[in-house]
Structure 1
Amino acid sequence: MRAIAVVLAGGTSRRFGTDKLAARLAGVSLLERAIADIPEEWPVVVVGPERPLSRPAVFTREIPAGAGPAAALVAGARVAALRCTGCMVSVPGDVPAGGQAARQLVSALADSDVDACVGVDEHGVEQPLQLAVRGAALTRLAETDPASVVGASARSLLVGLDALQVRLPPRWTLDIDTPDQIALWSKL
């Protein structure tokens, strides 16, 4: 299945203290780590400020910049809907194994007849920022009024969406919010 990866990278890193996406994990920035396992043939859209990357990417921002994860997901869906002929998969920029999760979500979507697959962590909690969508679900996200999701939870975008839950390994859902979590992720 053809896919476009939307990397959510516009957060403020308040709990981390510095730009967490620039933090090094085994010598590689957290953002580079998050996109490392995204297949090369998938175009990448980064929702966040422009920064150098090891692969080509289109950059866009949520409206207004810093409006939160739901707004970032909508901004990415708008770009993806214009550029994609298959599906969109979202990858949180602070999840080092996000690219692996993205591949699993797209595979599950390709093997199903639903328009959405959402990642689920080891505790059974949906991870709305790890989402693969196509068809009507992608159109719905792309057509969401940006003003309606400013400061909203990304979970609110799943309401009314018939999404297949896809269980993901703990390492694929662990996001980095504090410097201590870098050490924790390295031990998984």
Structure 2
Amino acid sequence: MTSQPGAAVPPDEPFDAVVLAGGAARRLGGADKPGLPVAGRALINRVLDACAGAGTTVVVGPRRATARPVVWAREEPPGGGPLPALAAGLRAGVTADVVVVLAADLPFLSPATVRALLTELAAPESGHDQGDPDGAAAPDGVVLTDPDGRDQPLAAAYRTESLRREIALLASEHGGLSGLPLRLLTAELRLRRLADPTGRASFDCDTWDDLSTARARIREHGTVLDEWIATVKAELGIDLDVDTKVLLDLARDAAHGVARPAAPLTTFLVGYAAAAAGGGEQAVAEAARRAAELAERWAKEADAGEAEA
């Protein structure tokens, strides 16, 4: 389905993605920033995980190994800045009416945040769109704002035709795009803002201190398990929501009621059984329930034996 220009975009409508992965990373001593790891996965792969639902993903920058196939593009001239990079990304294979534009250094970006941007772009006019106080026209894009309220135009969803139109006008007015600041583009667009729903999705890694902060945050006590599970699922290509409490309770019961090594072995067998049953959340839940009941019976029998002795 092709939307009419300015029409509301259903949240489930196909979208493409452009990931900007160039730049000199001067504050990182020229290191290959997108390839730097956070929690064992390169920054660029963490961003690619977040936009995995895109029909086409274009990465603008030097070619490098990625966790999934992408279309590669380079800005002209190389190092010319985000506007030439964005223009190159749009030319390289973006065909959807909506495009998500992302920097390659956002370690906490998630599919949920990308979906929130798309959903907000599809929402009815709110009357708060930039340059349109009456809300008479649909927005050209939705940008994430960080906890301090600053726009993050490289964490945003845009209408593709709006970007192409304004980029062409800027190129004509300035005789090219090299060196032009991104704000010249966003200033001409009707934008809606989305406050960072997690307070972390807009965090980017520009310095070594930023990278150290990201690595520490991802291991914080309250979030480390969720981050680990999300990272493992991405690494293994698993798209499955599992009730972690059920599995943790099962592991605890197996460890206490049987023997400590029984915990990891039991959870492995539950996963294997669920896969053999066709996979899916229900299969995992059913296998975990049966194993938990078995562990409970095992523990009761052991307790009864100790009482008799």
Q: Same fold (TM over 0.5)?
A: yes
The residue that corresponds to 2:97 in the other structure is 86
**Residues 33 and 59 (structure 1 numbering): CA distance in 2 closer, same or farther, change over 3 Å?**
same
CA–CA distance in 1 between the matches of 2:166 and 2:117? 17
The residue that corresponds to 1:65 in the other structure is 78
**Residues 174 and 105 (structure 1 numbering): CA distance in 2 closer, same or farther, change over 3 Å?**
same
**Mapped contact 2:97–2:161 kept (Cα < 8 A):** no
The residue that corresponds to 2:293 in the other structure is none
The residue that corresponds to 1:133 in the other structure is 158
**Residues 53 and 135 (structure 1 numbering): CA distance in 2 closer, same or farther, change over 3 Å?**
closer
SS for the counterpart of 1:12 is coil
CA–CA distance in 2 between the matches of 1:23 and 1:4? 25
CA–CA distance in 2 between the matches of 1:30 and 1:57? 15
Once the two structures are TM-superposed, the CA of residue 99 in structure 1 deviates from its matched residue by 4.6
SS for the counterpart of 1:170 is coil
SS for the counterpart of 1:36 is helix
| Equivalent residue runs for 1:1-188 within 5 Å | 1-17=13-29, 18-80=31-93, 83-100=94-111, 101-112=113-124, 113-134=138-159, 136-141=161-166, 143=168, 144-145=170-171, 148-168=176-196, 169-186=198-215, 187=217
Select between 87-96 and 37-46 the one with higher mean Cα deviation: 37-46
**Residues 6 and 135 (structure 1 numbering): CA distance in 2 closer, same or farther, change over 3 Å?**
closer
**Mapped contact 1:73–1:129 kept (Cα < 8 A):** no
Higher strand share: 1
**Mapped contact 2:143–2:157 kept (Cα < 8 A):** yes
Deviations 1:86-140 (A, max 9, x none): 3011010011134544332122112243221122111111112122111541331
Once the two structures are TM-superposed, the CA of residue 41 in structure 1 deviates from its matched residue by 4.6
Letter of the 2:103 counterpart: P
Letter of the 2:32 counterpart: D
Select between 137-146 and 175-184 the one with higher mean Cα deviation: 137-146
How well do the aligned residues superpose, as a CA RMSD in angstroms? 2.1
| TM-score, scaled relative to structure 1 | 0.88
Once the two structures are TM-superposed, the CA of residue 14 in structure 1 deviates from its matched residue by 0.9
**Mapped contact 1:117–1:131 kept (Cα < 8 A):** yes
Gaps (5+ residues) in structure 2? 1-12, 125-137, 219-309
Deviations 1:136-166 (A, max 9, x none): 4133145352953211221221112111111
CA–CA distance in 2 between the matches of 1:78 and 1:142? 11
Select between 170-179 and 95-104 the one with higher mean Cα deviation: 95-104
**Mapped contact 1:88–1:138 kept (Cα < 8 A):** no
CA–CA distance in 1 between the matches of 2:23 and 2:64? 14
| TM-score, scaled relative to structure 2 | 0.56
Larger Rg: 2
Letter of the 1:38 counterpart: C
**Mapped contact 1:92–1:98 kept (Cα < 8 A):** no
| RCO higher in structure (CA 8 A, sep ≥6) | 1
CA–CA distance in 2 between the matches of 1:161 and 1:105? 16
**Mapped contact 1:25–1:182 kept (Cα < 8 A):** yes
**Residues 109 and 55 (structure 1 numbering): CA distance in 2 closer, same or farther, change over 3 Å?**
same
SS for the counterpart of 1:145 is helix
